[in-house]
Amino acid sequence: MNFSVLLADIVNEMAVCCNRNDMYAKLSEAQKLVNPETTKGSMALNIPKYISEYLNNKYPYCLANKNDDLYSTFLFWCEVCAFGAPSKEQFHSIITSPAANDILSRYNRREILNALRYGYALDKLLNYCVKQASKANRTARFILSLLIDYRKIAEAGFMDVEPYPEDVVAAHDRLVSLVAVKNSEDISRKLASILY
């Protein structure tokens, strides 16, 4: 498999580094892509072959555009696969999802990885965001951000919540109200102990 575009992107990323530390950081980032355990070229990357072939075909002849460069896309999928590589069918479902262009843009990748840390499967997460977005008349990106915020609030308050609430906007609002009430009770209790 020819990864010349990916290699060109990696070299380009390192060439624009201003100092040695930035270059080392980019090099260690690039090492995440490579599987040191194999000698077979088709298994040289830490992502499944069907994903690398798809990405390689997406940018066949030239450097990727600045909005969605190939290098960061490979790194993103490498991190996704660290949570568990999607099957070939799941990957196809993900990239053909109506929310794929909206959610999978490089601007949302950190949020997607945060969602995966909560145990979500990427294909189910995308489908959920699309359904909730149409239900709430919002964008899938908004729903993703709201869902992650919902999980962060629950985690901070040591609360168990449903991973896929029926109405994420209402569930988020209820949780925010609950936390506000709990915080005001804590403040009242502390003030009472200080004053009395």
Residue 17: pLDDT band (50, 70, 90) is confident
Percent over 70 (pLDDT), the chain: 90
Do both 44 and 118 map to the same domain?
no
CA distances from 150 to 9, 68, 176 (A): 36, 28, 8
DSSP the chain: ---HHHHHHHHHHHHT-SSHHHHHHHHHHHHTTB-TT---GGG-BSS-HHHHHHHHHHS-SSPPPTTS-HHHHHHHHHHHHHT-PPPHHHHHHHHTSTTHHHHSSTTTHHHHHHHHHTT--HHHHHHHHHHHHHHHTS-HHHHHHHHHHHHHHHHHTT----SS-SSHHHHHHHHHHHHHHHHHHHHHHHHHHHH-
Residue 42: pLDDT band (50, 70, 90) is low
Range of the domain at 184: 102-196
pLDDT of 130-163, one tens digit each? 999 999 999 988 999 999 999 999 998 888 899 9
Q: For residues 180 and 159, what is the distance between their CA atoms, to the nearest angstrom?
A: 14
pLDDT at position 32: 83
Do both 112 and 153 map to the same domain?
yes
pLDDT at position 11: 78
Question: Is 162 within the bounds of a domain?
Answer: yes
Number of domain units in the chain:
2
Do both 189 and 118 map to the same domain?
yes
Amino acid at 129: C
Do both 112 and 139 map to the same domain?
yes
pLDDT of 45-69, one tens digit each? 888 989 988 888 876 554 444 445 7
- Name, of 63-72, 109-118, 187-196, the range with top average pLDDT: 109-118
In this prediction, residues 107-130 reach a mean pLDDT of: 91
Question: Is 187 within the bounds of a domain?
Answer: yes
Do both 41 and 129 map to the same domain?
no
Residue 185: pLDDT band (50, 70, 90) is confident
In this prediction, residues 22-43 reach a mean pLDDT of: 80
